[in-house]
Amino acid sequence: MKTCIVVSGGDAPGINTAIDSFARLARQNGDHALGAQGGFAGLLDDQLVELDCSLVSLLAGRGGSILPSSRRPALQDPKARERLSEVMRRRGIDNLLLFGGDGTIRHVAPLLARWGIAYIVLPTTIDNDVAGADYTLGHDSACNFALGVVNGIRATAHALPGRIFLLETLGAPTGHLALAIAYASGADLALLPEYPLGLDWLCERLTEIVARQGLALVVLSEAYPDIDRLVEEIPRRNGIRLRYTALGHAQRGADVSHWDRCVARDMSRVAWRAFKHGIGSGTVLWREGAALLHQGSLTSELKPPPDRRQFEFINQL
Ligand code: F6P
């Protein structure tokens, strides 16, 4: 069996672990795994590489992806189907192992299914916003990265009281990532795009919190409306110094947590077994604490919004 690994869309911590895991299984069982350089655009251009196993295992715990991805919608090209079949036939590729988030599952997977190309998707995004999945690979590592930063912010916040700290996480367009970080870090407020709060209320609450405990920690999603205005208006209205930190892309490139390494290895094992059983298409979903193969479309499923009760608990609403 020959599998080509394609990273389609944004990277997430754990992709390297899963590549390492899948490549190992292939090697141990006399199969062959190779990788596309530059997502589907690279695959269509025949940019394929043999996996350097010692390098892959060396980088298994690092964020990012040893196989570069691409945001170019290469499969929308009218010649894409023909080109893909040609590359796969010439290279003797039986199936594709895909890493990607919601976009890959909603747009790429149905196309491949229609074209009769065997594929399995491993949902990978720090955002944890894939419909049908309780958990997506990379989310835990991105949360842990943020918790390390919160430790630093709390240290300086205690040493020099009287400030408000706003910590912006990635995760757009949803607030799942910000909520998970706010809860685990004991933040005073969580600001999510799904449940915007009034500026007057926010200023009043922050004044109260700083008066009571000397500091306020607010975790907010990058998709929260008009963040620049918050940063300007809050200190102007309540006269308290506000300090703002954006985690940015360093969060997405976080080292891989223990949990994500386990999830990555479970997911790749499920994918490899499915290919060996001749299963033509599917998505490995993390559901109820285990990796399961889901066959069929996920396009009609919707991811529920972030847990409203947890949001209300954090914000004491
Ligand atoms: O979907 C994953 C994600 O990291 C989001 O959290 C973030 O908004 C986006 O990708 C950033 O994308 P890019 O790397 O293209 O800037």
The tens place of each residue's pLDDT in the chain, 317 residues long, gives 999 999 998 899 999 999 999 999 999 999 999 999 999 999 999 999 999 999 999 999 999 999 999 989 999 999 999 999 999 999 999 999 999 999 999 999 999 999 999 999 999 999 999 999 999 999 999 999 999 999 999 999 999 999 999 999 999 999 999 999 999 999 999 999 999 999 999 999 999 999 999 999 999 999 999 999 999 999 999 999 999 999 999 999 999 999 999 999 999 999 999 999 999 899 999 999 999 999 988 887 889 999 999 999 999 99
| Claim to verify: residue 165 and residue 236 sit in the same structural domain | yes
Cα 193 to Cα 53, 55, 130, 226, 233: the distances in Å are 42, 40, 17, 10, 18
Judge whether 130 and 123 are in contact, CB under 8 Å: yes
Q: Whose CA is nearest to atom 16 of ligand 1?
A: 249
Same domain, 285 and 170: no
Shared domain for 16 and 104, answered yes or no, is yes
Residue of 127, 140, 188, 260 with catalytic role = 127
Q: Are residues 236 and 285 in the same domain?
A: no
Do 241 and 95 fall into the same domain?
no
Note whether residue 170 is domain-resident: yes
Give residue 280's pLDDT.
82
**18 and 134 housed in the same domain:** yes
Q: Which of 221, 253, 285 is the last residue of a domain?
A: 253
304 within some domain = no
Give the span between the Cα atoms of 255 and 263, in whole angstroms.
14
Q: Which atom of ligand 1 is nearest to the CA of 129?
A: 1
Q: At a CB cut-off of 8 Å and minimum separation 6, what does 250 contact?
A: 145
Residue 298: the pLDDT is 84
* Global pTM value: 0.97
Q: How would you list the strands of the sheet with 241-246, edge to edge?
A: 189-191, 215-221, 163-169, 241-246
- The last residue of a domain, from among 230, 253, 276: 253
CB 11 within 8 A of CB 103: no
Query: Same structural domain for residues 164 and 242?
Result: yes
Q: Ligand 1 mean position to 190 CA, how many Å? A: 20
In sequence order, the β-bridge partners of residue 214 are none
Which stretches within the chain are classed as H helix? 15-28, 39-44, 53-58, 80-91, 102-103, 109-115, 139-159, 176-185, 199-213, 227-238, 248-252, 258-276, 308-315
Same-domain status, 131 and 268: yes
Residue 227's CATH number: 3.40.50.460
Would you say residue 308 lies in a domain?
no
- The domain in which residue 86 lies consists of 2-138+256-295
98 phi/psi in degrees, rounded to 5: -110, 140
What is the per-residue pLDDT for 302? 86
- Looking at the fold, whether 25 and 130 belong to one and the same domain comes out as yes
Residue 317 lies in a domain: no
Cis peptide bond N-terminal to 173, omega within 30? yes
CB 147 within 8 A of CB 181: yes
Whole-Å CA distances, 166 to 158, 182, 199, 229: 15, 11, 14, 13
- What's residue 254's pLDDT? 98
The per-residue pLDDT for 10 is 86
Q: Decide: 133 and 290 in contact? Cβ < 8 Å.
A: no
CATH number reported for the structural domain that contains residue 121 in this entry: 3.40.50.450
Write down the pLDDT at residue 301. 80
Instruction: Measure Cα distances from 17 to 27, 46, 86, 166, 229 in Å.
Output: 15, 24, 30, 32, 40
Are both 235 and 198 inside the same structural domain? yes
Domain end point (choices 253, 283, 303): 253
Buried b (16+ CB within 10 A) or exposed e, 221-259: bbbbeebeebbeebbeebebebebeebeeebbbbebbeb
Instruction: Domain count for the chain, please give it.
Output: 2
> Which protein residue has the closest C-alpha to ligand 1 atom 10?
10
User: What is the distance in A from the centroid of ligand 1 to the CA of 230?
Assistant: 22
Provide the pLDDT for residue 244: 98
Active site residue 45: no
Residue 48: CA count within 13 A, CB half-sphere: 19
| The predicted structure's pLDDT at residue 297 | 82
Instruction: Tell whether 6 and 69 lie within a shared domain.
Output: yes
List all residues whose CB is within 6 A of at least one atom of ligand 1: 10, 101, 125-127, 170-172, 222, 252
71 falls within a domain: yes
Structural domain includes residue 311: no
* 310 assigned to some structural domain: no
Instruction: Flag whether 189 is in a domain.
Output: yes
Task: Give the Å distance between the CA of 259 and the centre of ligand 1.
Answer: 21
**Do residues 235 and 242 touch, judged by C-beta distance below 8 A?**
yes
Please tell me the distance between residue 93's alpha carbon and the centre of ligand 1 in angstroms: 30
Q: Are residues 264 and 129 in the same domain?
A: yes
